[in-house]
Amino acid sequence: MDELYFQLGWQHIINWEAYDHILFVIALSAIYLLRDWRKVLVLVTAFTVGHSITLALSVLHIIRIPAALIEFLIPVTICITAISNIIRKDDEPQKLQLNYFYALFFGLIHGLGFSNYLKSLLGNQANIVKPLLGFNLGLEFGQIIIVMCILLISTTIVKFGSLKRRDWNVFLSSATFGAAFLMVIQGVRALFI
């Protein structure tokens, strides 16, 4: 593993300039509390697997999708995940749920968003396996940091505040949806203007 790319990976995901990816991790984690950390770890790993696949394919120039389309689709994935959280009926997340599908499938789209950043870092490097592995592991580490913060905040608000778990989920998911929806509007403009 390449330590430089590991560091770049986790710094990229926790950087506020990557707020679209942070919003997606928030949307994925909104329905969980700290006691659900194992479920969330599987969820984040599914997201990493998804974005690792398209990140590698894009860096190797096997797939090419216009950046404007990806920048439009990323906030759409956030909106879909947030809406799914809002309309769900159960307070407690079930063992296997739609969020795992979202994490894996939408991770494919988010990987394409990471690819432009990674391509600019790699330049014309011949061997990309170690940098790619390091970067993906760094992204995973950064996502775990974000998830742990969200779980700690959620648990504190639900356990010690006067908010029910369902109300907190709706609030957090609605706020995430609102921010992402503004990005969708910007993405539509970029696609058609």
**Residue in the block written with tokens 């778990």:** 165
**Separation CA 19–CA 25 (nearest Å):** 10
Distant-in-sequence, close-in-space partners of 100: CB < 8 Å, separation ≥ 6? 42, 43, 46
> At a CB cut-off of 8 Å and minimum separation 6, what does 117 contact?
12
Can you give the pTM of this predicted structure?
Answer: 0.89
How confident is the prediction for the chain on average, in pLDDT? 87
Task: Give the separation between CA 102 and CA 3, rounded to whole angstroms.
Answer: 29
How does pLDDT run across 9-46, given as a tens digit for each residue?
A: 888 888 888 789 899 999 999 999 999 998 888 888 99
Distance (Å, rounded) from C-alpha 72 to C-alpha 164? 33
Looking at per-residue confidence, does 181 or 188 come out higher? 181
What is the reported pLDDT for 109?
A: 92
Both tokens assigned to 1: 């593993």
Nearest-angstrom CA–CA distance, 99 and 29:
9
Task: Collect all residues with Cβ–Cβ distance below 8 Å to 24 and sequence separation of at least 6.
Answer: 47, 74, 77, 78, 81, 106, 110
**pLDDT tens for residues 126-176?**
677 888 888 889 989 999 999 999 999 999 999 998 889 999 999 999 999
Token reading at 95 = 């063992």
What pLDDT shows up at residue 157?
Answer: 95
What confidence score (pLDDT) does residue 61 get? 83
Cβ atoms 147, 44 nearer than 8 A: yes
